[in-house]
């Protein structure tokens, strides 16, 4: 699909002249020459070329690859996502929550349906509401990695989420793993723009020292509306922000909070123009309802619109199912799978599935045994998914066994950082040892 990189005479819909990409580029080029500490984004944009998305030497795989991270917040119940029907203990410990093996009772429907077949040899199935994911699996586009975790598991949502975000067992003070990826793999010409998170706040995974992530809920609000009061105010605002950029180094020594705000303000202006340009296009398929679908829909638009962003981040909450789990978790599974399915179809439609990979995780799984409230409490290991045309479909590794539980919890069979490493090396063409040390052998999921 074509994307107009230089919509020169663009208006903001109210008849006021908006600043075009070219204006930004020219301004930015000038700034880059002026100030040693201009925001990273300015440098990126100044260097970005208008060349079409390039292809690498690997036939059929676009060089401009993107990773989409999907976070399931609250601790997704892994045992009712990838169903271990091989294990009698699963049924013993979950009298009301377990799902039967595929084909046990084919007439049952809804939350009472049997698990869907995933890997008969391993005795693993999928939650019945994951049918759309199962279809992608049958197309060979879903790598399922059960039992992902880390040593000495922490059951606090916050700490465990921080561990996943930093890829560091002692997360205090660490940057995010994707932030470190940006830090250690500096910009090359025409690629590698800031990560984009859909939401009000960028997740810790994206924080680094060189490339602050961009976060927004919706594209229309992504501009200053004061310019509509009087058009000259827009110019004043622009001038002010440029002055702000030129005095950055001064501000940095005086007040780090102010320096941070000035940079963010600058980044916002420049990013706004590009992103609003990219999302003017449309999607190729219709999406279901729900928050994750809305986010993936927006991400698909940006990808289809030609943004060179390499990392996108979406998240979905509500997985902390301490009580009344069956219906709640089923609805979440359904929303999740339908959103992923629409996203993948959308990318296929535009051919962008060549260059997009999606990775799904949650901060922990839940205990093997259900609690007295028909729910489950915080546990340890859980499955990850890596989804995309170039994912290596099928089940990777082993499901944790049920005979060697650690005080009622699964022992992880796959360090999640091996999956990160696999994605970094196999997909992002990055060196995982630079991001999180060399002790995590990349898992071949791509």
Partner 1 sequence: MPRLTPLPRDAFDFAAARHLLVRAGFGGTPGMVQGLLSKGLDGAVDWLVDFEGDSASGPDRIVQADTFDPSVKMQLTAADYKAYRKAREAGDEEAIAAFRRKQEQQERDDRGAMRSFEQWWLSRMIETPRPLEEKLTLFWHGHFAASYTTVENSWHMFRQNQFFREHAAGNFGDLLHGIIEDPAMLRFLDNNRNRKGSPNENLAREIMELFSLGEPELLGRKRSPYREIDIKEAARALTGYTYRGNDFVFNRNQHDNGLKRIFGRNGRWNGHDFVDMLLAHQSCSEFIAWKIYRAFVNDVPETPPSEEVRNVVVQLGKTLKDHKYNLKKTLAELFRSAHFYAASNRAAHIKSPIELVVGSVRDLGVPVRNVDTLRTAAARLGQRLGHPPSVKGWDGGRSWINTSTMFLRQNTTVWMLTGRDAGGHPWPNDNTPFDPMPLVEQLKRDGQIDPDEATVYLQRLLLACPVDEARSQAIRQVFTLANDRVNADSLTAALCVLTALPEYQLC
- Residues lying near partner 1 in the complex (CB under 8 A) are found at 13-14, 155-159, 172-173, 200-202, 212-218, 220-226, 228-230, 232-233, 236-237, 239-240, 243-244, 246-247, 250-251, 255-258, 260-262, 264-265, 267-268, 271-272, 322-323, 371-373, 377
* CB nearer partner 1, residue 218 or residue 438: 218
CB of 159 to partner 1, least distance (A): 7
CB of 261 to partner 1, least distance (A): 4
CB of 378 to partner 1, least distance (A): 8
CB of 208 to partner 1, least distance (A): 14
Q: CA 391, CA 445: separation in Å to the nearest integer?
A: 6
* CB nearer partner 1, residue 186 or residue 226: 226
Both structure tokens of 39: 């925001």
Both structure tokens of 270: 């420049």
Phi then psi dihedrals of residue 144, to 5 deg: -105, 125
* CB nearer partner 1, residue 63 or residue 228: 228
At CB < 8 A and 24+ separation, what contacts does 228-234 make?
Answer: 228/12, 228/14, 228/16, 231/16, 231/17, 234/16, 234/19
Among candidates 61, 42, 119, which has minimal Cα distance to 354? 61
Distances (CA, A) of 41 to 221, 270, 273, 280: 20, 7, 12, 21
C-alpha gyration radius of the chain: 23
CB of 379 to partner 1, least distance (A): 12
- CB-count exposure of residue 432 (10 Å: 0-12, 13-18, 19+): buried
Distances (CA, A) of 121 to 114, 117, 127, 306: 17, 10, 17, 42
Helix (H) / strand (E) element for 330: namely: helix 325-350
Asked if residue 113 lies in contact with residue 389, where contact means CB atoms within 8 angstroms, the answer is no
* CB nearer partner 1, residue 17 or residue 61: 17
Cβ contacts of 154 within 8 Å, gap of 6 or more? 160, 163
Asked if residue 197 lies in contact with residue 203, where contact means CB atoms within 8 angstroms, the answer is yes
* CB nearer partner 1, residue 63 or residue 377: 377
Asked if residue 397 lies in contact with residue 428, where contact means CB atoms within 8 angstroms, the answer is no
* CB nearer partner 1, residue 182 or residue 216: 216
CB of 225 to partner 1, least distance (A): 4
* CB nearer partner 1, residue 381 or residue 387: 381
CB of 442 to partner 1, least distance (A): 30
* CB nearer partner 1, residue 127 or residue 274: 274
323-353 burial string, b = 16+ CB within 10 Å, else e?
A: eebbebbbebbbbbbbbbbbbbbbbbebebb
CB of 119 to partner 1, least distance (A): 34
Both structure tokens of 104: 């046990």
CB of 184 to partner 1, least distance (A): 21
Asked if residue 51 lies in contact with residue 190, where contact means CB atoms within 8 angstroms, the answer is yes
CB of 178 to partner 1, least distance (A): 15
* CB nearer partner 1, residue 131 or residue 268: 268
CB of 222 to partner 1, least distance (A): 6
* CB nearer partner 1, residue 207 or residue 344: 207
CB of 175 to partner 1, least distance (A): 11
Q: CA 124, CA 154: separation in Å to the nearest integer?
A: 26
Distances (CA, A) of 266 to 43, 48, 217, 262, 370: 12, 17, 18, 6, 50
From the DSSP assignment, how many helices (H) and strands (E) are in the chain? 13, 12
* CB nearer partner 1, residue 37 or residue 246: 246
* CB nearer partner 1, residue 51 or residue 372: 372
Q: CA 314, CA 295: separation in Å to the nearest integer?
A: 6
């Amino acid at each position: 699909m074509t994307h107009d990189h230089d919509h020169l005479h663009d208006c903001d819909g109210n008849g006021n002249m908006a600043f075009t990409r070219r204006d930004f580029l020219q301004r930015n080029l000038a700034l880059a020459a002026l100030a040693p500490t201009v925001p990273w984004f300015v440098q990126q944009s100044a260097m970005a070329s208008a060349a079409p998305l390039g292809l690498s030497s690997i036939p059929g795989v676009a060089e401009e690859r993107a990773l989409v991270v999907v976070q399931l917040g609250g601790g997704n119940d892994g045992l009712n996502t990838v169903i271990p029907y091989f294990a009698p203990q699963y049924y013993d410990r979950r009298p009301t929550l377990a799902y039967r093996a595929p084909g046990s009772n084919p007439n049952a429907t809804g939350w009472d349906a049997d698990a869907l077949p995933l890997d008969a040899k391993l005795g693993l199935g999928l939650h019945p509401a994951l049918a759309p994911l199962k279809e992608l699996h049958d197309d060979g586009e879903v790598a399922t990695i059960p039992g992902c975790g880390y040593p000495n598991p922490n059951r606090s949502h916050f700490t465990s989420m921080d561990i996943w975000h930093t890829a560091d067992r002692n997360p205090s003070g660490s940057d995010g793993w994707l932030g470190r990826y940006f830090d250690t793999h500096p910009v090359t010409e025409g690629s590698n723009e800031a990560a984009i998170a859909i939401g009000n706040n960028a997740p810790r995974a994206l924080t680094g020292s060189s490339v602050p992530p961009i976060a927004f809920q919706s594209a229309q609000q992504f501009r200053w509306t004061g310019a509509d009061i009087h058009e000259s105010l827009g110019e004043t605002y622009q001038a002010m922000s440029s002055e702000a950029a030129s005095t950055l180094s001064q501000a940095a020594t005086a007040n780090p909070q102010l320096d941070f705000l000035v940079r963010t303000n600058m980044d916002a202006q420049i990013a706004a123009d590009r992103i609003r340009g990219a999302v003017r296009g449309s999607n190729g398929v219709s999406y279901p309802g729900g928050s994750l679908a809305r986010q993936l829909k927006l991400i698909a638009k940006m990808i289809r619109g030609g943004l060179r962003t390499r990392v996108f981040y979406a998240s979905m909450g509500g997985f902390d199912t301490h009580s009344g789990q069956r219906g709640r978790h089923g609805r979440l599974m359904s929303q999740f799978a339908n959103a992923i399915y629409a996203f993948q179809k959308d990318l296929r439609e535009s051919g962008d599935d060549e260059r997009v990979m999606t990775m799904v995780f949650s901060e922990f799984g839940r205990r093997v045994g259900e609690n007295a409230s028909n729910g489950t409490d915080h546990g340890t290991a859980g499955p990850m998914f890596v989804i995309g045309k170039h994912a290596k479909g099928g089940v990777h590794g082993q499901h944790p066994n049920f005979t060697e539980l650690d005080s009622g919890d699964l022992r992880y069979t796959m360090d999640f950082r091996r999956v990160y490493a696999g994605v970094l090396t196999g997909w992002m063409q990055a060196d995982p040892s630079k991001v999180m040390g060399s002790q995590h052998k990349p898992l071949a999921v791509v």
